[in-house]
Amino acid sequence: MNRNDVRRAWDAVAETYAESRDPTGNDADLVEELREYLPDDPVVLDVGCGDGARTLANLPADAIGVDVSRRALELASETVPAARLLQGDMTNLPLVDDSVDAITAYHAVFHVARDDHPEVYREFARVLKPGGYLLMTLPTGRFETVREDWMGGRMFFSAPGERATVDQLEAAGFGDVHRVTADDPLGTKSLFAFATLDE
């Protein structure tokens, strides 16, 4: 699936995904921990924000949400009306350099072809201020596949594995990568990476 296919796939499943999440997962607690490190009135970007109910809703009210899916952003406009919502591709974020204090990217990067993941992390580094923070899902396996019946539609998943992802983050300028496990919105456990952009 190419990027347009993924965008159309998310448009098709956005509502089903929003309705299927477990609201009791503790992955949202990681966002609260992140906020403790941020300055007053921080600029925070949620990449792959979806309908906004999970991560974006736990960020400052005026946080920026970027998603490839227009339908997901329509849902987010109802869930987090004060957020600044932008349609865009995470390999080419619609923000200027050094403009955000932190980025969250929950269950998002693995919908991009794994060969393009280094480009995603370079984009994260470009828009983050030096010393800024990244909190993202860290894939534990190496895969590239299309699931034919995911949330009632087709969806693309791709990752190079945990070690390769950490290497790519470090190559993009992220140091001090910490790992933490939390319950994800679909009722399973996921590994997350907390990293700081080198100054």
**pLDDT per 10-residue tile (average), the chain, 199 residues:** 88 88 70 92 96 90 96 96 96 97 95 96 98 95 92 92 96 94 74 94
**Angle made by CA atoms 118, 123, 128, in degrees to the nearest 5:** 125
| Residue given tokens 């009791």 in the structure block | 24
Amino acid of residue 111: H
Residue 196, C-beta contacts closer than 8 angstroms, at least 6 positions apart: 131, 132, 133, 134, 174, 175, 176
**Angle made by CA atoms 159, 162, 168, in degrees to the nearest 5:** 80
Q: Which domain holds residue 191?
A: 3-197
Nearest Cα residue to 139 out of 120, 152, 125, 123: 120
For residues 34 and 182, the answer to whether their CB atoms sit within 8 Å is no
| Residue given tokens 């800024």 in the structure block | 132
Amino acid of residue 19: E
The two tokens of residue 152 are 């009632």
> What CATH number should be reported for the domain holding residue 184?
3.40.50.150
> H or E stretch including 11?
helix 3-20
Segment 10-44, tens digit of pLDDT: 999 999 988 876 656 677 789 989 999 999 999 99
User: Side-chain half-sphere of 147: how many Cα atoms within 13 Å?
Assistant: 13
pLDDT confidence of residue 188: 73
Task: Give me the torsion for CA of 125, 68, 111, 147, rounded to 10°.
Answer: 180
Task: Give me the torsion for CA of 68, 165, 100, 189, rounded to 10°.
Answer: 70
The two tokens of residue 109 are 């990067």
Q: How many domains does the chain have?
A: 1
User: Side-chain half-sphere of 112: how many Cα atoms within 13 Å?
Assistant: 21
Sign of the dihedral defined by the CA atoms of residues 115, 117, 118, 123, in that order: positive
